[in-house]
Every structure is written in C-alpha cells, then in structure tokens.
C-alpha cells in the first residue's frame, strides 16, 4: 500500500475531536496503565498527535521527569504544544518513526499508539525504538486489526466497499497479528499482550464511531475511489440505524508491552 496522505490542519482537528470522545479517554487510561510511568522517568511518545497522551504522561512523570513527543505533522505538533502549555517537562520534535530524532538509550520508556500501522518498514521502526530505549527500557504499542471491525449495515456490499477503501489509509490494517514476530526479530522481549475493545452499541454523538465518520467519509471520497453520493448515503444509513435502535459498532485494538534486554 502507498504512503498515507499527510495530516493537514483540517484533518488534525478532526482527529483531535475523535480523541476527545469517552471511548478514546478509556483507551488512554488503558495504555497509560500498561506503561506504568514513575516520577522522574524519561518517556518518548512516537506519533504524539494532538498531545492527549503527552499531557497525561507529563503529569505522571512530574517536573523531575521528561516527555518528548515526535510527530511528522507540524499541525499535530502545534495542537500538542498548546495542549501541553505550562508543562516544562514536555517537548516536541518533528520526525518519523523510522528515523527518530533522539539519542541512543535516551529514554526509560516509549509508547506508540496507532502509529506503526501507518509505517511501511516495521523492522526499521522497531530497530529505532530499540536504539532509543535504555537497556531494560520498555515500550507500549497499540494498533488496530481492522478485520475485527463489526459495523452494522443494511447495504452490506456498500459498507464493505467503504471499509475496504478506508483500509488504504494504512500501511498495514492487520499489523497486530504479525507484531509479536516483528518484536522478537528486533530483539525485544514481550512482557504482555492485551486486547482493548471499542464498543458503540448506540449511535451517540460523542462516540468514537460517530466522530470517525467525519474522517472516514472525506478520506474514501478523496483517496479511496468512492463516489460522494455513495459515501454520504452510507453515513446517513448509519444515522437511520441509530434512530431505529439497530446501530452497532465494535473494533479491537491490541496492546503489546515490549522490553529491551539488559539492565538500566
């Protein structure tokens, strides 16, 4: 698959809106619980996006720690800087997961949430992750397997076409099923694996799936070969299902805790 289109300012703000949903708040709690940050630690957030995890990480490590966010999108970095204003322990660098702007062994911990599914060269990205962690350092990785998606539809053929077109925004929409092997090949030990389920049994305005429509519909029209009328009709059908009490959405994300061998 080709490289996903960049996050421009408009897309960055749509992503930010999704991240304010209660579903994403629960996911962040799930990720941060697995990362188990301690005061004074140094943390790298790969693909820091609009900065929600950065803010939480900075609060967890406190003034004696440090949190560095790396993102390839200047609009995302700008949103994150505003969100972390006043937190001296938070800083940002522009860069890619396959060429991290960081020194060898610079960090105690790292996280990458919904990042590696966008990366075509996973071995290079994991080699960089291993390089920037200190011996004994840990990483938490969360990615989606989009084949786990259950999204009710009356016109199933149309829904399948749109979901297939949406898959094109990722380098690998099924990364979790191969990530254990990639981590071992990169020299990591795997300390834990868990599943996080996003479940929207109703069409709520603040739900993850409802807010994702504002990202999916423009993408499949511009980049997925879906006609505008078809994409709009699919979105309208989902609203109708919600009004009829027939809406249902479920998606699995998979969390991996990996450790770099050695003692810090």
Per-residue pLDDT of the chain (264 residues; tens, 9 = 90+): 334 445 566 676 778 888 888 999 999 999 999 999 999 999 999 999 999 999 999 999 999 999 999 999 999 999 999 999 999 999 999 999 999 999 999 999 999 999 999 999 999 999 999 999 999 999 999 999 999 999 999 999 999 999 999 999 999 999 999 999 999 999 999 999 999 999 999 999 999 999 999 999 999 999 999 999 999 999 999 999 999 999 999 999 999 999 999 975
- Local structure of residue 152 (DSSP, 8 states): -
CB-facing half-sphere around the CA of 191: CA atoms within 13 A: 13
For residue 149, CA distances in Å to 23, 62, 200, 202, 221 come to: 15, 37, 12, 15, 20
CB-facing half-sphere around the CA of 83: CA atoms within 13 A: 24
Q: What pLDDT does 9 receive?
A: 63
- With a CB cutoff of 8 Å and minimum separation 6, the contacts of 52 are 19, 24, 28, 83
**Whole-angstrom distance, CA of residue 45 vs CA of residue 139:** 10
Residue 2 lies in a domain: no
**Cβ atoms of residues 132 and 103 within 8 Å:** yes
| Domain range enclosing 235 | 9-259
User: Quick check: helix, strand or coil at residue 9?
Assistant: helix
**Cβ atoms of residues 135 and 261 within 8 Å:** yes
Q: Label residue 41 exposed, middle or buried (CB < 10 Å: 0-12, 13-18, 19+).
A: buried
Q: What pLDDT does 17 receive?
A: 81
**Number of domains the chain contains:** 1
Residue 108 lies in a domain: yes
Q: Residue 254 is encoded by which pair of tokens?
A: 């998979």
Helix (H), strand (E) at residue 138: strand 133-144
Q: Residue 55 is encoded by which pair of tokens?
A: 């803010």
Q: What pLDDT does 8 receive?
A: 63
Adjacent-strand bridge partners of 44: 68, 110
Residue 3 lies in a domain: no
Q: What pLDDT does 47 receive?
A: 95
Q: What pLDDT does 7 receive?
A: 58
**Whole-angstrom distance, CA of residue 82 vs CA of residue 92:** 11
**Whole-angstrom distance, CA of residue 208 vs CA of residue 152:** 15
Residue 37 lies in a domain: yes
Residue 135 lies in a domain: yes
Q: Residue 172 is encoded by which pair of tokens?
A: 């690998």
Residue 102 lies in a domain: yes
Residue 189 lies in a domain: yes
Residue 4 lies in a domain: no
**Whole-angstrom distance, CA of residue 2 vs CA of residue 222:** 14
Helix (H), strand (E) at residue 251: strand 249-259
Q: What pLDDT does 20 receive?
A: 82
Q: What CATH number does residue 238 fall under?
A: 3.40.50.150
């Amino acid at each position: 698959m080709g490289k996903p289109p960049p996050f421009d300012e408009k897309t960055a703000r749509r992503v930010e809106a999704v991240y304010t949903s209660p579903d994403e708040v629960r996911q962040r709690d799930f990720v941060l619980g697995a990362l188990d940050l301690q005061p004074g630690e140094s943390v790298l957030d790969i693909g820091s996006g609009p900065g929600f995890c950065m803010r939480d990480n900075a609060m967890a490590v406190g003034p004696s720690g440090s949190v560095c966010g790396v993102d390839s999108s200047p609009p995302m970095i700008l949103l994150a800087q505003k969100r972390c204003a006043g937190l001296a322990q938070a800083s940002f660098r522009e860069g890619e997961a396959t060429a991290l702007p960081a020194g060898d062994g610079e960090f105690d911990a790292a996280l990458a949430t919904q990042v590696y599914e966008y990366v075509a060269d996973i071995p290079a990205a994991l080699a960089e992750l291993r390089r920037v962690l200190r011996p004994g350092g840990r990483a938490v990785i969360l990615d989606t397997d989009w084949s786990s998606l259950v999204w009710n539809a009356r016109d199933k053929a149309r829904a399948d076409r749109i979901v297939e077109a949406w898959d094109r925004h990722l380098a690998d929409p099924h990364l979790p099923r191969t990530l254990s092997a990639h981590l071992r090949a990169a020299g990591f030990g795997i300390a834990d694996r868990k599943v996080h389920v996003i479940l929207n049994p109703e069409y709520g305005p603040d739900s993850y799936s409802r807010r994702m429509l504002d990202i999916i519909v423009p993408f499949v029209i511009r980049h997925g070969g879906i006609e505008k009328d078809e994409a709009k009709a699919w979105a309208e059908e989902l609203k109708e299902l919600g009004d009829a009490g027939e809406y249902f959405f479920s998606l699995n994300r998979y969390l991996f805790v990996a450790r770099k061998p050695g003692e810090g």
